[in-house]
Every structure is written in C-alpha cells, then in structure tokens.
Amino acid sequence: MQRKPRILMANIGLDGHEMGAIVVSTALRDAGMEVIYLGLCQTPENIVETAIQEDVDVVGISSMSGVHDEVMPIIVNLLKEKGVNIPIIIGGIIPKEDIPQLKQVGVKGVFSPGTPTKQIIEFIQSIVEE
C-alpha cells in the first residue's frame, strides 16, 4: 500500500502570523495527507532536523516577514549538507520578482497570497509522485 504523503509545515523567523500555515495545513489534511505542524518561530536547523527525523516527503515553509530571500537558501543548503533530497515549497508574502531567485536556489514551489489550496495540494501530489 502506498503511504500517505507526509508534509512538514513550519513558519520561519520570529513571527506570529500563522493563519496561512493553519489554512494550508488543514486543507492538506482534508486532502488525505499527513501533516506535521511544527509551528511558529522555527530556525532553519530545527526545520531540517525535524524533516529528517520525521522522514517527510515535502517541507512547506510559511514566510510572512520578508526573510525568505536570506533564509530559504540556508534551509536548502542545510538539507544538501545532510545529504537528503527533500523538496521544499514556500508560501506567504513573497514579491513576484523574488520567485525566479528562490527557484534558482532550489525551492520547488512558491505560492503567493490568494493561491487556492487545491493548487497547492495538486502541486504536492505531483512532486511526491515524481
């Protein structure tokens, strides 16, 4: 039997804006995925360690305070250093012009405010199947 996709959801930086992450986590659960909700104020180290320990298929990051440009490369590199290949996606307040750069450093998917959760679900399903 194929196991359910396992997703780690985490909010980066010192920030309490967690509604986006809660909405997405709930939608993923409703779609039959297993969500490990790590919650607020996570450091890159914490996220990567948990992703490995929990053996997740995808890491989902929520960023609301503009730190994506500096912090995402750190998370991607930490994953690389540990020799694991877990796809990483991000949602939140991210200017359009930052998307190419995020993709270039290895972020698989970038979701702006207003993205239907269905689109995120389908995206995760497609990368898990790869």
Partner 1 sequence: MAKEKGERKEEFTTASGIVLKRVYAPEDIKDLDYARDLGSPGEYPYTRGPYPSMYRAYPWMIRQVMGYGTPESSVERWKALMERGGQAGYKQEPATTLLFDMPTNYCYDSDNPIAFYQVGRVGVAVDHYKDIVDLMKDFPMDKGFTNLVVHGSPPILTAMYIAAAQELGYPLDKLRGSSKNDPYQSQICERIQLLPTKAELRLCLDLLEYCAKYMPAWNPISLEAYGYHSSGSNAIQEVAFGLATAMAYIEGGISRGLDVDVFAPRISFFFSSGIDFLEEVAKFRAARRIWTKVMKERFGAKNPRSLLFRTYVCTLPPDYTAQQPYINIVRGTIQAMAAILGGIQAMSVTPYDEVLAIPTLDAHTMSIRAQQILVEESGIGNTVDPLGGSYCIEWLTNEIEDKVREYFKKIESWGNDGTVLSGLTAGVEKGLVQSEINEAVIKRQRAIEGGERVMVGVNKYTVEEEISPQIFRVDPVYRKEKIEKLKKFKEERDKQEVSRALKELAQVCRTNENVMPELIEAAKKRVTLEEAMNVFRDVFGVPEFWKGRRMTK
Q: Rounded to an integer, what distance in angstroms lies between the CA atom of residue 20 and that of residue 1? A: 32
Report helix, strand or coil for 75. helix
User: Interacting stretch for partner 1, rule CB under 8 A, among 11-19, 51-59, 79-87, 102-110?
Assistant: 11-19
Residue 126's φ and ψ, nearest 5 degrees, are: -70, -40
Q: How far is the CB of 82 from partner 1 (least distance, A)?
A: 17
Q: Taking CB under 8 A as the rule, does residue 53 contact partner 1?
A: no
Residues listed for the chain: 130
The answer to whether 93 contacts partner 1 (rule: CB under 8 A) is yes
18 touching partner 1, by CB under 8 A: yes
Least distance to partner 1, CB of residue 59, Å: 18
- Which tokens hold the place of 19? 């509604």
